Structure 1
């Protein structure tokens, strides 16, 4: 009875975990609809219409440039370790983004599939996973630094609301710094090897003849040790710097949209604050796919500090979702094409003719 009860509890937990992204999607979508409906729809439509084709093309080109920079950053981590060319990382970086922004998965779902797809280029699965973990560390770490820059700039602006938001952001970043440090320590101190050993031990208890199977020669911890090995600091520093550049380039999306709408009282410092804090708010809600509702609410909050009305802020958010679709849909098609080609070349098991 106890075993049956435990089995039922495990199935319930797995079902809840699988449904978390879908639940987050529904909650985020509902919040986004409420946010749009409770504001002046005419103002949102008017601001969105003023962006024009040139504005949407500009935002899409900026996003493509950002993803290219991020793809190069990922390739620098793998440089000298894997046979995959840099072009594979560039292609898969677009695929990772497309999965994260268009499918009902948490914002790390694209990273999991990206690591798997990288094995199609002959990269060992453990090394592919290790490269993604390192890439995520640099991405999150540089975002924290970027958000800290935004909070620092915001603290120089007069007003109780700006000071309160800056203080709240700095406190959250202090917690984020601890999380990033723990994530780095997880990769560097061998904890992953301990986790793998525990999982292997559990597997031997529940899988028949598991003891007879050879242990993998390249586990994730070993691959992480290789990624962080001596003599690779230059490549890792380049990857980290490229991620920092990518976050700064993202501010150009805000600049393009607000310029097209006709907002001319916003300076470069204000744009950096808007981009940094809105990205930090969106990242904090990573369980909500594509930050539905969170991105819109964050922009309304931050833009309001600079005299930008909610209708314009929502239009800015909607405009920034255009590249999600324009670049995301082809990326999903590339993903499906890669899967189809992989299945097409996979050898079939030999069959024996019956006499």
Structure 2
């Protein structure tokens, strides 16, 4: 008897094939994480290997504990601005909640974002969860608000780059030759700033048009599989509600403008932190010089997203810029600076994780408002 062979593999073979694909995908993710760790370790070693370690210790000891404590304040100011910006966005959506809850949410998500590889993606997911649990923001409004806040962060970042270029274009030119061997650095920053602005405007325009979620819904419905389509269809109301809330945000331009200014304040506070730490170490450097390399290193940190807090990569950038700008003993000073900066980040990570786990007990689940 002749048996006609099916084009489809047996179900067991399909299961084994799927399991193999997932295993390969998981192995690729693990390899990428370990590659990030290796890059971070190599960059950190290159940062510290030429330092005068007794000199590094003496510089750190000269700062003193009281001034070390003061070094925590700029980051606190940045997080206060960030939390208030989030509160204003969601207040504009009709979801008022106490400022303390938004501050707790901000501290928690920032700690998670700084402490794990690809922390930005995890941070957004946890933000969605905490908005619902701590602030009573349901899913559609959470999606619309998070997307709006992301576009405002990009817009504020573009404004921050513009300020840095206006004040520090000449310093970037001066650093460009030692770093790149060419005068391109300030123009690369200009292009990056324009890219941020274009991305912010495109995201905001698409979101506030009130039809992005509907278009996503239409594309998801074209996916193969009856169960997939049924799953998507069951959430049609959520997609429509997301568009309604996004369009409603577009009518609250005053609240969005205030949130954007607060986020610009967040970026500036982070730049002032670097200036403060370098001044504590006795480095004679101007705000314009600090802003000129802070914008570059913030982009470098974002590019190295697989490395927690840009560890090693951003540190090497600080040392390179200090040397390019002619700071005496740049390697030793830079090593002391990055050690203080990383110690400060460890404090904020510990505090943020404490708030995250404590908040799950202290904050009862906020009721959703009709």
Instruction: Give the TM-score range, shorter chain.
Output: 0.7 to 0.9
Residue in 1 that maps onto 2:344: 323
Q: Residues 253-279 of structure 1: CA distance to partner in whole angstroms, max 9, x if unpaired? A: 12221222112x322322332333322
The unaligned stretches of length 5 or more in structure 1 are 347-355
Residue in 2 that maps onto 1:239: 259
Asked if the contact 1:285/1:291 (under 8 Å) is kept, the reply is yes
The unaligned stretches of length 5 or more in structure 2 are 1-8
Residue in 2 that maps onto 1:191: 212
Q: Find the partner of 1:144 among 158, 163, 166.
A: 158
Shifted more, 22-31 versus 234-243: the winner is: 22-31
Let me know the Cα RMSD of the aligned residues.
Answer: 3.2
Cα displacement (A) at 1:223 = 5.5
Residue in 1 that maps onto 2:226: 205
Q: Residues 22-69 of structure 1: CA distance to partner in whole angstroms, max 9, x if unpaired? A: 643443234213421244434433333333223321221111111011
Residue in 1 that maps onto 2:4: none
Q: Residues 269-316 of structure 1: CA distance to partner in whole angstroms, max 9, x if unpaired? A: 223323333223223333322111122022122222322212212322
Q: 1:51 to 1:192 in 2, by over 3 A?
A: farther
Residue in 1 that maps onto 2:331: 310
> 1:54-133 residue pairs with structure 2 within 5 A?
54-80=66-92, 81-120=94-133, 121-133=135-147
Structure of higher CA gyration radius: 2
Q: Residues 102-121 of structure 1: CA distance to partner in whole angstroms, max 9, x if unpaired? A: 23343332122012111013
TM-score (norm 2): 0.80
TM-score (norm 1): 0.83
CA distance in 2 between partners of 1:304 and 1:220 (Å): 53
> 1:289-308 residue pairs with structure 2 within 5 A?
289-308=308-327
Cα displacement (A) at 1:15 = 5.5
Q: 1:223 to 1:324 in 2, by over 3 A?
A: farther
CA distance in 1 between partners of 2:34 and 2:245 (Å): 32
> 1:234-313 residue pairs with structure 2 within 5 A?
234-263=254-283, 265-308=284-327, 309-313=330-334
